[in-house]
């Protein structure tokens, strides 16, 4: 091990090689219900060359490497096994370019989503990816293919990443894509690496598309009596051509919880709330207030026609606070004792069926699943609460597993945006199409034959 330490010190300097046991805070993300080991070291490279040196040191000593961005992930993708080296990217935080002709940004992986968006906004542009936790790093969002509330309009991280520099397990530096709107020249390694959760390469530079910033936004809230009606309304909203920038559903207990946590009153009469099983929050954006107002009328009519007993146009302050509270939903349910979170994605048309099955599964096992989610994307976020007592762990595990299986059975996948990480690696291996899983394993073995990159996470 001292040999490893010497090599790492040679790679990044003694000040940036931390003993793993001294910084266990850097040895996990925010996932609930998944453990982590004690890393041998946490290293903090400041350049691609230093990352190459770290990778080389690890390879020569057969030491596993786990990349770490801001640690805001929810699947344990940054949780190292015992003895691994955690590669923290918190010193690589330079925005190398905001390019207003090609409409791209070039950033180091430690730059946060907030930091990038703020820099883009100075030029009338925006980076529209909005994961639940905006302190997320670009490298981390690339690793997990992060989504968030704006994905219904703008797509997930994958849709925005046009180029990467990354270091493979053998130290090879790969440069792929660039400041390009499109490309059809060989395999799209950029797309292969997005969502690969640090199992194929360590990303050292990210080039992303920027979008014109749209200054006008208006938000409506619509209660619905049941989930089937709610999700049927979602298909109409998405198919309308109105281009919503947010289309979220919240079940009634989750709405209660986040309003309480944010001390937020939405001004909805008690009798309407009493009859509501779920809510849709839909946001429209645009360049011009008159048009957004016109679209808002159309949207309200559409929602009423789809079965909402009433539609509330939220004042700007309330809208912002509701959206922020929704973003903080994970922290709210965590504070209320949630034992697990899952973010199954299913076809939009199957959302109501999926949620119904999940509730039945929970009831069978004495657990609870409460949820909200990116309804426009079919991405259902459940907080899972175990029953406590002796049966707690088993009931929880069974519930989570059956809920994931129910989603996959409806044509979905175990995660829409959190990733597989360590938390869902077992279920993923069990539930994924065997042909696809075999192909993934072959790709992984081809790029990392010794299995040094994030072992135990992803398609293991």
Pick the stretch among 172-180, 222-230, 248-256, 311-319 that binds a second copy (CB under 8 A): 172-180
Q: Kindly report the number of other CB atoms within 10 A of residue 243's CB atom.
A: 15
**Cβ distance to a second copy smaller for residue 192 or 313:** 192
Cβ closest to a second copy, residue 161 vs residue 395? 161
| Cα gap 299→234, rounded to integer Å | 11
Binding range to a second copy, per CB under 8 A, among 271-279, 301-309, 357-365, 409-417: 409-417
Instruction: Tell whether residue 195 is a contact of a second copy (CB under 8 A).
Output: yes
Alpha carbon distance 197, 119 (integer Å):
26
Q: Which two tokens stand for residue 170?
A: 């053998």
Among 14, 180, 272, 393, binds a second copy (CB under 8 A): 180
Instruction: Choose the stretch contacting a second copy; rule: CB under 8 A; options: 11-19, 80-88, 151-159, 314-322.
Output: 151-159
Q: Where in 54-93 is the site for a second copy (CB under 8 A)?
A: none
Residue 189 binds a second copy, judged by CB under 8 A: yes
In the block, tokens 């290293």 appear at 43
Question: Per CB under 8 A, which of residues 262..301 are in contact with a second copy?
Answer: 287, 291
Q: Among candidates 177, 145, 7, 139, which has minimal Cα distance to 85?
A: 7
Of 47 and 93, nearer to a second copy (C-beta) is 47
How many residues form the binding site for a second copy (CB under 8 A)?
89
Contacts of 13 (CB under 8 A, 6+ apart): none
Residue 381 Cα distances to 293, 319, 347, 375, 408, angstroms? 30, 21, 14, 10, 15
What are the residue ranges of helices labelled H in 306-391?
Answer: 316-327, 329-335, 351-365
Distance in Å, CB of 184 to a second copy, minimum: 4
| Least Cβ distance, residue 264 to a second copy (angstroms) | 28
87's tokens? 């590669």
DSSP 158: G
Interface map 89-128 toward a second copy (x if CB under 8 A): ----------xxxxx--------------------xx---
CB of 366 to a second copy, least distance (A): 28
Does residue 346 touch a second copy according to CB under 8 A? yes
How far from chain centre, in Å, is Cα 251?
A: 20
Site map for a second copy, 427-446, x if CB under 8 A?
-x---xx-xxxxxx-xxxxx
Among 345, 369, 384, 423, binds a second copy (CB under 8 A): 345
With a CB cutoff of 8 Å and minimum separation 6, the contacts of 208 are 104, 105, 107, 116, 127, 138, 160, 161, 162
Strands 246-251 and 340-342: unpaired
C-beta closer to a second copy: residue 360 or 436: 436
DSSP 159: G
Interface residue with a second copy, options 347, 364, 388, 450 (CB under 8 A): 347
């Amino acid at each position: 091990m001292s040999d490893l330490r010497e090599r790492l010190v040679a790679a990044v300097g003694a000040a940036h090689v931390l003993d793993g046991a001294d910084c266990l805070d850097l040895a996990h993300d925010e996932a609930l219900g998944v453990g982590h080991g004690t890393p041998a070291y946490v290293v903090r490279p400041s350049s691609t060359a230093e990352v190459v040196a770290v990778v080389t040191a690890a390879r020569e000593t057969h030491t596993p490497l786990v990349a770490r961005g801001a640690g805001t992930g929810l699947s344990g993708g940054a949780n190292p096994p015992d003895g691994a080296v955690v590669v923290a990217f918190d010193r690589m935080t330079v925005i190398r370019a905001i390019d207003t002709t090609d409409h791209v940004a070039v950033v180091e992986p430690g730059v946060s989503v907030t930091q990038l968006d703020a820099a883009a906004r100075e030029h009338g542009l925006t980076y529209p990816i909005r994961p639940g936790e905006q302190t997320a790093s670009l490298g981390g969002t690339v690793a997990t293919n992060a989504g968030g509330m704006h994905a219904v309009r703008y797509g997930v991280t994958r849709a925005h990443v046009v180029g990467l520099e990354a270091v493979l397990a053998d130290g090879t530096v790969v440069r792929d894509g660039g400041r390009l709107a499109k490309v059809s020249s060989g395999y799209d390694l950029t797309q292969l690496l997005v969502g690969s959760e640090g199992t194929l390469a360590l990303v050292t530079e990210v080039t992303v598309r920027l979008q014109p910033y749209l200054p006008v936004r208006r938000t409506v809230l619509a209660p619905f009596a049941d989930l089937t009606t709610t999700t049927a309304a979602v298909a109409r909203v998405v198919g309308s051509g109105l281009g919503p920038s947010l289309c979220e559903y919240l079940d009634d207990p989750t709405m209660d919880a986040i309003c309480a946590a944010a001390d937020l009153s939405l001004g909805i009469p008690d009798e309407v709330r009493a009859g509501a099983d779920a809510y849709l929050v839909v946001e429209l954006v645009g360049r011009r207030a008159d048009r957004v107002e016109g679209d808002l009328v159309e949207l309200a009519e559409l929602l009423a026609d789809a079965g909402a007993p009433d539609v509330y146009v939220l004042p700007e302050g309330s809208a912002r606070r509701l959206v922020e509270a929704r973003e903080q939903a994970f922290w709210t349910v965590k504070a209320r004792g949630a034992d697990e979170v899952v973010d199954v994605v299913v076809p939009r048309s199957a959302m109501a069926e999926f949620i119904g099955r999940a509730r039945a599964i929970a009831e069978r096992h004495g657990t609870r699943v409460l949820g909200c989610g990116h309804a426009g994307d079919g991405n259902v976020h459940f907080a899972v609460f175990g029953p406590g007592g002796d049966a707690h762990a088993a009931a929880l595990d069974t519930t989570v597993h059956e809920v994931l299986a129910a989603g996959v059975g409806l044509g979905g996948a175990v995660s829409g945006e959190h990733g597989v990480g360590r938390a869902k690696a077992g279920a993923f291996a069990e539930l994924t199409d065997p042909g696809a899983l075999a192909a993934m394993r072959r790709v992984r073995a081809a790029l990392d034959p010794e299995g040094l990159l994030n072992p135990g996470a992803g398609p293991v």
